Amino acid sequence: MAVGTYIGEIARGVFPGGTLIDEPPWEHAQALTRTRKLVEDKETTAIFEAAFEHDGVRTRVDILERDGNRWHIHEVKSSSSVKPEHVTDLTIQVHVLLGSGIDVASAGIMHVNKHYVRGEEGLNWQQYFARTDLSDELNETFVDVPDEISNHFDILNRDAAPDIEMTSSCKGCDYWGLCSADKPEHWVEALPNLSPRKWGELAALNIEDIRDIPDDFPLTKTQDRMRQVLINGETYVSSGLWKSLKGLGPPAAYLDFETMAPAIPLYIGTHPYQKIPFQWSLHQLDAFGNLFHNEFLAIGDDDPRRSFSEGLISVLEGSNEPILVYSSFERTTLNDMIKLFPDLKVGLLSIVDRLKDLLPIVRGHIYHKDFRGKFSIKNVAPALAPHVDYSELEGVADGLAASTAFERIAYGKLGKGESVPELRASLLKYCKLDTLAMVEVHRALMTSDWENDEFYHLTDYIDEKEKTKQTLKRGLLAFLNYVEKIEYEKLSKSE
Ligand code: SF4
């Protein structure tokens, strides 16, 4: 069940004695009749999913609460604050209810109280929800409602959808795929960090394809790099790449965390949407090209943060290689754990001090056409190391899917056909692939010849000072050994 639906159901518990209009949307007439009867019955204290219709607009109110002869409208949202679209929704609802003869006393949003902390006694739903009364705001927007409704019906009655130029505000829209279907393969939207203003300027020049952007159009360094790579077809590698890899090994470790932020706090002392780490994957590549793997995945029935931290400390204790990550996320999470567990500070700090972030190195020193304007490990790894294949993952294939899969395990609310062992296996496979992808990105950065897709000779690359030369040489040799082992493994499997 989606979290919004679940929270909507829980909110009804705050109004004991209420009656649910459980007719589905296609039984609207029956829902209207039942709602009308309940409104007229003085014994009714609250109606859930109350149905109304006015001006051709149908609506269902999450919670309608009686106050004498008047009614309070409560729309339930799983967000932790009120968003502009909530005000629009509510304005339409009030219009329909007033038109249906309901005396509306107030209208507001019941949303998640982000300051609520789960106590030892369990969840307190009265405290979990916060209510923001929007009656005053609604009065201001109310005059435009009939015109807006008439505009919407006008659009709905047309034979074709209106021809609207897509802008940055389209991001997140459910119809993104449909509206952008005829855009060119290298649509300007893919430019990294394209500001709405620049997008508008390109639209004004009628430019949709990145390759058509003129040389003198002001782009950022990274945006222009992408444009150049698409025009000339050659991967960009900066002359500073080699130097930036100094101090990153191998020997090196590769670390990735998965976290969840459950809307309903699962553990004592946590608040809604608090980040809770529940999984890590660690690959370690030694100086001889041997690759080892360790992992942690919480059970879910208990707060995992302490065992998550202790497990990581224990597996990294006694080693001193750099720990490569791919974003600042792991550093932030470990710093949170240090604040939470002062007794683990020394062990956790020793990990934090060894973290090295690969992401800024990739972003600053290399661009491959298949990055498609994005520098996430899922875009970068398959481009630089084509054998890294995220498409083989089933079920859990990105961070959001990992987070929601673990939440379902922890809440004990599995989807249809799901099982805990299968979800756990998908989570382990996904996180392991992320750290393996980091190994491969590091290897590709150190060893690939971008023009010929062959390994550089060591001497072609190494013209730095002797110290740098020796460190990098050792790392490069480790990678060459690693590749040899992988090739050998592939060979033995195929025989
Ligand atoms: S993507 Fe959404 S907001 Fe943008 S034009 Fe299409 S329907 Fe409108």
Give mean pLDDT, residues 332-345: 97
What is the average pLDDT score of the chain?
87
Determine the Cα–Cα distance for residues 481 and 491; give it in Å rounded to an integer. Answer: 15
Determine the Cα–Cα distance for residues 438 and 377; give it in Å rounded to an integer. Answer: 7
Give mean pLDDT, residues 446-470: 47
State CA 201 to chain mean position distance.
29
CATH 3.30.420.10 in the chain is located at 234-495
Whole-number Å distance, alpha carbon 190 to ligand 1 midpoint, is: 17
Asked if the peptide bond before residue 251 counts as cis, ω within 30 degrees of 0, the response is yes
CATH 3.40.1350 in the chain is located at 3-151
Compute CA distances 106 → 88, 134, 153, 415, whole Å: 15, 8, 27, 37
Whole-number Å distance, alpha carbon 180 to ligand 1 midpoint, is: 9
**For ligand 1, mutation pick of 166, 167, 169 (most atoms within 8 Å of CB):** 166
pLDDT tens-digit map of 378-418: 999 999 888 888 888 788 888 889 999 999 999 888 888 88
Statement: residue 458 has pLDDT above 60: no
Closest ligand 1 atom to residue 174 Cα is 2
Give mean pLDDT, residues 201-215: 93
Give mean pLDDT, residues 69-98: 90
**For ligand 1, mutation pick of 179, 180, 182, 199 (most atoms within 8 Å of CB):** 179
Whole-number Å distance, alpha carbon 201 to ligand 1 midpoint, is: 19
Determine the Cα–Cα distance for residues 48 and 63; give it in Å rounded to an integer. Answer: 5
CATH class of domain segment(s) 3-151: alpha beta
Whole-number Å distance, alpha carbon 183 to ligand 1 midpoint, is: 13
What pLDDT score was predicted for residue 140? 64
Nearest CA to ligand 1 atom 8: 170
Give mean pLDDT, residues 109-114: 94
Closest ligand 1 atom to residue 173 Cα is 2
Nearest CA to ligand 1 atom 3: 170
Nearest CA to ligand 1 atom 6: 179
What pLDDT score was predicted for residue 381? 92
Give mean pLDDT, residues 358-367: 94
Residue 20 neighbours by CB distance under 10 Å: 13
Statement: residue 160 has pLDDT above 60: yes
Statement: residue 204 has pLDDT above 60: yes
Determine the Cα–Cα distance for residues 479 and 475; give it in Å rounded to an integer. Answer: 6
Q: Which residues line ligand 1 (CB under 6 A)?
A: 164, 166, 170, 173, 175-176, 179
Pure H helices in 192-343: 196-204, 221-232, 241-244, 305-316, 329-340
> 2-11, 137-146, 336-345 — which one is most confidently predicted on average?
336-345
| pLDDT band (50, 70, 90) for residue 339 | very high
What pLDDT score was predicted for residue 170? 87
What pLDDT score was predicted for residue 465? 46
The reported pTM is 0.84
Determine the Cα–Cα distance for residues 144 and 141; give it in Å rounded to an integer. Answer: 6
**What is the third-level CATH fold of 234-495?**
Nucleotidyltransferase; domain 5 (3.30.420)
Whole-number Å distance, alpha carbon 332 to ligand 1 midpoint, is: 35
